[in-house]
């Protein structure tokens, strides 16, 4: 399982979530990857998944297809609670 974190360096809530993810990386379960994606430069990925705001998370399957999309998770625990 992979979660794409659409992040922007200028976004305060993105920085906060990124800090929490980094601080708690050991809590990410085996088989799950949280991958930070630059919101400003990855326009193709944004279009593919219909991402219109930074601080959006997209869970994708092994084929790279959308499983679930949500915004605003503030902590790694919030993210893990959303993962299918």
What average pLDDT does the chain have?
Answer: 95
Q: Which residues pair with 3 in a beta bridge?
A: 34, 59
Residue 84, pLDDT score: 81
Q: What is the pLDDT of residues 29-69, one digit of tens each?
A: 999 999 999 999 999 999 999 999 999 999 999 999 999 99
Interatomic CA distance for residues 29 and 84, integer angstroms: 13
Judged by DSSP in three states, 80 sits in: helix
The reported pTM is 0.94
């Amino acid at each position: 399982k992979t979660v794409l974190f659409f992040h922007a360096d200028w976004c305060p809530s993105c920085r906060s979530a990124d800090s929490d993810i980094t601080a708690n990386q050991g809590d990410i379960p085996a088989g799950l990857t949280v991958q930070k994606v630059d919101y400003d430069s990855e326009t193709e990925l944004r279009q593919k998944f219909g991402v219109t705001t930074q601080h959006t998370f997209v869970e994708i399957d092994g084929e790279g297809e959308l499983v679930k999309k949500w915004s605003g998770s503030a902590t790694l625990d919030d993210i893990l609670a959303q993962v299918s």
